[in-house]
Amino acid sequence: MGGLNVILPTEGYTVTDPMKIKVTKQKCTLLKNCKGVIQSDKYIVGLTGRRAQVVRKSDMTLVGVIEGLSYVYRGDISPDEKTLLLGSTDRYGYLYSLPNLTPVSRARIRGNEVDRVLEGLGCFSPDGKKVYFAVPIATGTREIREYDSVTFEFKRVVHELDGMVIREIQRLKNGIFLSGFCRGDEPYDIAVLYENGSVRKVKFDPQRSYDIIRYDEESGLIHCVELFDVDYYTTDGKEAVIDVHGGDEDIITSVCRTESGRYVCETSGFGGFTIRDVRTSEIVYNDSRAQYAMTMTRLPGNRFIVVGSSGGDCIYTVEEPVAEQE
């Protein structure tokens, strides 16, 4: 295996250039049975639906567990990391203080149609003083509502998105990012960026159908995952030519870049956990045992936690080579 440092049996691992990168892997049981994961600089929170497991990132120790929740798979951590927001698909929003996990408030949030559920899509404002929820008010129509971040008191409707079904809501440093799709005779995926008081919509090619659409603030690009491939777009809708996937017929479930940006890590249905060179799209590391992972999150120190794979939850530590002078 040359210069590759893998603290596991070599079966199931493939490396094309072992002198380029070092990877270590360790088991992690703190997020067992979690269906969703949220994170901040200090914390990572695993969500099972009925329970939230709060873990301190620096040493990966359990801070505490919140029990008795109702269908909670999404949430956010306030910018000052003192409050945890949890969104339920059963019309409830929860606020807890960090790190002691004391309940702050709970609110029942309904759309204009009584039988509409909340979908759990909520986040803090960039300053942490407000909470935003995407609330269904009619078939294919959502409102972005603003609430107080302490009392959950309703403040105002920020924006109405007619015909848009929202799949994700993401807090940014200076705004929020929404992604979803619009119904109609020719459905299409769409992203909406609220930033510095402006609203920008990005409509994607109706011939494409993306499963994951996320905004990466480091690169300033929108990452779009469609089954076997990853596309990148600027915020004005232009496709960025970045080929970081080899086109293998496998279902990609999550994508993260390493700290240097020279490598991209991905999880997929059959391929497991894979690291590719951004410049060449070449696979430099693969753990085929990490199949069917639900999510991957980057931790400090170039560590990547993979949750829900058939091989169990694991943390991969990636040691990148010193950049060569060109």
Asked if the structure places residue 269 within a domain, the reply is yes
229 vs 219: CA distance, rounded Å: 18
Which pLDDT value is given to residue 241? 66
Cα torsion 108, 158, 234, 238: sign: positive
Cα 285 off chain centre by = 22
Dump strand ranges (E) for 162-302: 164-171, 175-182, 188-195, 198-203, 212-216, 221-226, 229-233, 239-240, 252-257, 263-268, 272-277, 283-287, 295-299
Give me the residues paired with residue 135 across strands: 143
Calculate the CA 267 to chain-centre distance. 13
* 121 within 8 A of 114, measured Cβ to Cβ: no
Would you say residue 210 lies in a domain?
A: no
CB 71 within 8 A of CB 117: no
Whether 169 is covered by a domain: the verdict is no
Per-residue pLDDT, 69: 93
Helix (H) or strand (E) holding 145: strand 141-148
Instruction: With respect to residue 131, please indicate whether it lies within any of the assigned structural domains.
Output: no
Is 178 part of any domain? no
Residue 30 to residue 34: CA distance in whole angstroms: 9
Spans of the chain, pLDDT less than 70: 1-19, 111-117, 227-228, 241-250, 323-326
Domain that holds residue 255: 1-30+246-326
CA 103 and chain centroid, separation: 25
pLDDT per position as a tens digit, 161-195: 888 888 899 999 999 999 999 887 889 999 999 98
Largest CA distance in the chain: 62
pLDDT in the model for residue 28: 87
Q: In this structure, is residue 136 part of a structural domain?
A: no
pLDDT at res. 265 = 92
Q: Give dist(CA 195, CA 16) in Å, integer.
A: 42
CB distance 121 to 169 below 8 Å: yes
Whole-number pLDDT of residue 147: 94
- pLDDT of res. 197: 79
Write out the two tokens for 157: 């409707």
What is the token pair recorded at 229? 């491939």
Contact 288, 13 (CB under 8 A): yes
Residue 116 phi, psi (nearest 5):
-80, 135
Predicted TM-score (pTM) of the model is: 0.79
Q: Per the structure, how many domains does the chain have?
A: 1
Sheet holding 283-287, edge to edge: 13-14, 283-287, 272-277, 263-268, 252-257
Q: Is 130 contained in some domain?
A: no
CA distance 41 to 154: 28
Residue 129 lies in a domain: no
Asked if the bond preceding 99 is cis, omega within 30° of 0, the reply is: yes
Q: How many helices (H) and strands (E) would you count in the chain? A: 0, 29
